[in-house]
C-alpha cells in the first residue's frame, strides 16, 4: 500500500469541522437524504414534544413520564448527532486533502501564442480549450494540456508527491502535462485541453470534497433495502400498540419510538454515506482520480484484469543477464568486447551490459579508448559498437545483422551460434551477437525483467478469483516465458489494439467485470470498453478521456492497488451491514421482554440478560444503539482489513466476526450499561 495512506485518522481541524458539521446536518431537508436517520430525528422531535406536553397522545400517568421522555429525547438527539458526525469526519478528511490540492492551484501568468506565433501574457484562468501556450524553464504550466513541440523535464511533485522530475515531449505516449506542475529545464509548447474549472485538479478537488459524489448502484440498492426494513419495522411497531392494549399493557409512545429506533438498521444507516466517502478518499490518497464512485465500486467487482507487459509486468528495459560464448572463445573475452561495444551506448540495455561485465570482474580501461570512434545504433544497420585506435572493430547487434557483417569481412559463422540464439529466444530473452572484426565471439542474453513482488500480487488476485491476462507484442514463445515467470493466468502474444477490445468483449459476454490500464491513443477504445479503465496521467488526452480513472503517478501497476481498494469498500459495507442487522437481535431480546413481562410473565424467559427494569432495559438498548456509531467510525474510515481469499471463505469469516460478533457485543454492552444506569434510574423513581 502507498505511503500516502499513513496519515492521522483525524486532526484537530477535522474534529472541529466535524462537530460543527454534525449540527449543521440536523436540517430536516438534509436528513431526508438518509431516510433511516430521518426517522430517528423525527422520533427525537416527537419525544421532545412529549417532554413538553407529556399527555399529547393520551399516555397514562403522562406527567410521571416527563423525565423518561426527556432522557429518550436526549439519547435520540445524540444518536443523530453521532451519525452526522461520522459523515462529517469523512467529508472533513476529504476537504483537508482538497485544501492541500488547492494550494497548487495558482493564478499564474501564461504566455499565449496566436496563429502567427505572437506572444501575449494572460492569466491562466483565462485560458480555454485549444489555446496554445509557451512554457520555459522555471515557469508553472498554466493548465492541463498536450505537448505539441519541445522536450523538457517537469517537476510534478505538487500533484504526485514524487520529487524526481519526469520527461515530457511532443508525440508518443508521454505528451500530457498537468496544470500546476513546473518546467525545470528547456521549454514546451502546449495545447490546452481543458476549460477553466474542468482541469484534473478541479475534478479531483470536487471529488474529495464530496461535492461531486453521487450514490453508487450498490449504495442505492443497499439504501433501498434499509428503507424497506425501516418501513417493515415501523409497521410492526404500530401494531404493537393495539396488541399491548389487548394484553392489558399500555405502551408509552416514547417507548414505542425507542423500540423502533433500536430495531431499524440505524448503525449502517448512520455509516453508509461515510463508508462511500471514505472509499473515494482512499483512492485519491493513492493519487488516482476516479471520475465517479461507480468506478471505484466497479473495482471491487472486477473478475478479469487486462495488463500490458511492458511497463506494467516488466520494467520495459531489457537488461543483460548473461554472456554466452561460442566454441573456442572464453567468457572473459566475450565479456570484455561486449563491454567495449557498450561503453558509448546510453540505452538501459547498453548500461546493463557494462554493469554486468563489472559484476563478472571485467573492467574496461577507458583510457585505452582515447581516439576511438563509437558507432551508434541505427534502424538500418541494427548494430552498434566501437572502432579502436589499433584498427580493431567491435560490434554488437541483431543476429542476422552481425552474421551479414562478419561475412562481408570474410569471416565465418560458428556452428553453435544459432543454437545459442535460439536458446536465448526460447527463454523469452533477446539475443545480441558480439563480434571482433570478422570473428563472432558469442551472445549477450538480454532479459525483460519482471517487476519485483508481482508474482506474489498476482497470487493474491488469483486467491480472490480475479483472472489476469497479459497483452504483449512479443512472439508467442517469448510471451509464454514472461507469462509463466510473472504468474499470470493467460496471455495474448503479438497483440494489437483491436485484440484487447476483442478479449474485453469476450470476457464481458460471460458476465465478467473487466479492468485494464493504458496510456496511448491506441489504448483509448479498450479503456472505454472496459468496466474499469485506468489511464496514466503521462499518457495522451484521448486515453485519459476514455478511461474512468486516471493515475497521477503514471504507475501501470496501480490498477492492482485500486482493485484491492474497491474490494475493501465492498467488504467494509457488507461487514458493517451484517453487524448492524445482527445488533437488532440482541436489542430485540432486551426490549420486547421488558415491555411485556408484567402482562405476559412467560416472556420473562426471553430476558436472558437479566436486565433490572423495563425502563433500564429500554434505555440501555437505546444508549448502546447510540454509542456504537462513533465506535465504528474508525473502521468505516479505514475500511475492514482486506485479505485475499475466496468469496466463500470471506463470507464465512465475516459472518463469524461481524455476524456472531454483532450479536454478542450488544448483549455484553447492554448488560454493562444496565448495571451503570439502573441505580440512577432507581433514584429517579423508575
Q: Which residues are catalytic?
A: 308
**Main-chain dihedrals φ then ψ at residue 48, nearest 5 degrees:** -65, -45
C-alpha cell at 561: 492497488
Q: For 546-570, give the secondary structure using H, E and C.
A: HCCEEECCCCCCHHHHHHHHHHHHH
Q: What is the DSSP letter of 140?
A: B
For residue 75, give every residue at least 6 positions away whose Cβ sits within 8 Å of its Cβ, in sequence order, or none. Answer: 619, 622, 623, 626
For residue 101, give every residue at least 6 positions away whose Cβ sits within 8 Å of its Cβ, in sequence order, or none. Answer: 201, 204, 205, 208
For residue 418, give every residue at least 6 positions away whose Cβ sits within 8 Å of its Cβ, in sequence order, or none. Answer: 399
For residue 597, give every residue at least 6 positions away whose Cβ sits within 8 Å of its Cβ, in sequence order, or none. Answer: 603, 604, 607, 614
3-state class (DSSP) for residue 523: helix
In 3D space, the residue among 220, 217, 229 whose CA is nearest the CA of residue 39 turns out to be 229
CA 603 to chain CA centroid, Å, is: 51
Long-range pairs of 373-380 with CB within 8 A, sequence gap ≥ 24: 374/343, 374/344, 376/344, 377/345, 377/347
3-state class (DSSP) for residue 384: strand
For residue 417, give every residue at least 6 positions away whose Cβ sits within 8 Å of its Cβ, in sequence order, or none. Answer: 326, 399, 403, 433, 440, 443
How far apart CA 477 and CA 490 sit, in angstroms, is 13
Amino acid at each position: 500500500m502507498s505511503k500516502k495512506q499513513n496519515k492521522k485518522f483525524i486532526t484537530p481541524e477535522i474534529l472541529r469541522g466535524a462537530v460543527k458539521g454534525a449540527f449543521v446536518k440536523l436540517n430536516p431537508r438534509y436528513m431526508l437524504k438518509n431516510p433511516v436517520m430521518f426517522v430517528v430525528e423525527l422520533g427525537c422531535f416527537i419525544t421532545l414534544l412529549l417532554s413538553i406536553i407529556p399527555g399529547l397522545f393520551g399516555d397514562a400517568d403522562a406527567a410521571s413520564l416527563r423525565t423518561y421522555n426527556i432522557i429518550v429525547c436526549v439519547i435520540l438527539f445524540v444518536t443523530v448527532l453521532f451519525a452526522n458526525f461520522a459523515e462529517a469526519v469523512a467529508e472533513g478528511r476529504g476537504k483537508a486533502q482538497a485544501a492541500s490540492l488547492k494550494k497548487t492551484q495558482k493564478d499564474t501568468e501564461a504566455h499565449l501564442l496566436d496563429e502567427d506565433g505572437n506572444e501575449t501574457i494572460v492569466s491562466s484562468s483565462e485560458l480555454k480549450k485549444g489555446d496554445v501556450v509557451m512554457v520555459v524553464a522555471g515557469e508553472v504550466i498554466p493548465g492541463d494540456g498536450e505537448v505539441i513541440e519541445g522536450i523538457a523535464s517537469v517537476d510534478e511533485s505538487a500533484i504526485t508527491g514524487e520529487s524526481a522530475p519526469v520527461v515530457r515531449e511532443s508525440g508518443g505516449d508521454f505528451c500530457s502535462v498537468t496544470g500546476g506542475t513546473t518546467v525545470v529545464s528547456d521549454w514546451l509548447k502546449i495545447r490546452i485541453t481543458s476549460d477553466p474549472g474542468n482541469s484534473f485538479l478541479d475534478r479531483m478537488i470536487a471529488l474529495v470534497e464530496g461535492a461531486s459524489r453521487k450514490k453508487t448502484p450498490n449504495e442505492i440498492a443497499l439504501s433501498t433495502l434499509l428503507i424497506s426494513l425501516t418501513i417493515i419495522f415501523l409497521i410492526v411497531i404500530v401494531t404493537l400498540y393495539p396488541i399491548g392494549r389487548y394484553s392489558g399493557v399500555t405502551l408509552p409512545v416514547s417507548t414505542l419510538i425507542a423500540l423502533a429506533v433500536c430495531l431499524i438498521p440505524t448503525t449502517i444507516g448512520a455509516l453508509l454515506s461515510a463508508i462511500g466517502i471514505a472509499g473515494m478518499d482512499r483512492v485519491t490518497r493513492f493519487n488516482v482520480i476516479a471520475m465517479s464512485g461507480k468506478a471505484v465500486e466497479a473495482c471491487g467487482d472486477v473478475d478479469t484484469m487486462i495488463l500490458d507487459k511492458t511497463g506494467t509486468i516488466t520494467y520495459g528495459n531489457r537488461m543483460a543477464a548473461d554472456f554466452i560464448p561460442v566454441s573456442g572463445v572464453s567468457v572473459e573475452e566475450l565479456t570484455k568486447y561486449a563491454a567495449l561495444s557498450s561503453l558509448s551506448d546510453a540505452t538501459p540495455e547498453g548500461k546493463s551490459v557494462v554493469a554486468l561485465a563489472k559484476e563478472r570482474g571485467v573492467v574496461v580501461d577507458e583510457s585505452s579508448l582515447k581516439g576511438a570512434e563509437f558507432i551508434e545504433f541505427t534502424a538500418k544497420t541494427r548494430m552498434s559498437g566501437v572502432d579502436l585506435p589499433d584498427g580493431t572493430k567491435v560490434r554488437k547487434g541483431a543476429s542476422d545483422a552481425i552474421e551479414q557483417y562478419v561475412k562481408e569481412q570474410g569471416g565465418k559463422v560458428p556452428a553453435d551460434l544459432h543454437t545459442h540464439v535460439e536458446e536465448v529466444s526460447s527463454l523469452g530473452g533477446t539475443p545480441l551477437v558480439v563480434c571482433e572484426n570478422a570473428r563472432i565471439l558469442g551472445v549477450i542474453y538480454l532479459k525483460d525483467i519482471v517487476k519485483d513482488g508481482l508474482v506474489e500480487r498476482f497470487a493474491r488476485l488469483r486467491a480472490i478469483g480475479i483472472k489476469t491476462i497479459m497483452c504483449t507484442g512479443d512472439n508467442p514463445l517469448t510471451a509464454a516465458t514472461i507469462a509463466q515467470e510473472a504468474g499470470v493466468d493467460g496471455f495474448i502474444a503479438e497483440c494489437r489494439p483491436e485484440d484487447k477490445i476483442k478479449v474485453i468483449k469476450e470476457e464481458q459476454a460471460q458476465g465478467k467485470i473487466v479492468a485494464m490500464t493504458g496510456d496511448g491513443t491506441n489504448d483509448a477504445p479498450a479503456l472505454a470498453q472496459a468496466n474499469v479503465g485506468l489511464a496514466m496521467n503521462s499518457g495522451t488526452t484521448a486515453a485519459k478521456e476514455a478511461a474512468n480513472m486516471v493515475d497521477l503517478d503514471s504507475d501501470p501497476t496501480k490498477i492492482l492497488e485500486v482493485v484491492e481498494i474497491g474490494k475493501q469498500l465492498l467488504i467494509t459495507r457488507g461487514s458493517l451491514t451484517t453487524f448492524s442487522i445482527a445488533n437488532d437481535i440482541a436489542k430485540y431480546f432486551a426490549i420486547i421482554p421488558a415491555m411485556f413481562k408484567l402482562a405476559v410473565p412467560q416472556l420473562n424467559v426471553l430476558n436472558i440478560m437479566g436486565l433490572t427494569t423495563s425502563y433500564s432495559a429500554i434505555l440501555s438498548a437505546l444508549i448502546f444503539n447510540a454509542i456504537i456509531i462513533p465506535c465504528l467510525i474508525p473502521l468505516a474510515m479505514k475500511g475492514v482489513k482486506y485479505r485475499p481469499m475466496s468469496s466463500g471463505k470471506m463470507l464465512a469469516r465475516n459472518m463469524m466476526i461481524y455476524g456472531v460478533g454483532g450479536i454478542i457485543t450488544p448483549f455484553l454492552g447492554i448488560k454493562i450499561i444496565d448495571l451503570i444506569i439502573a441505580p440512577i434510574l432507581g433514584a429517579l423513581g423508575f
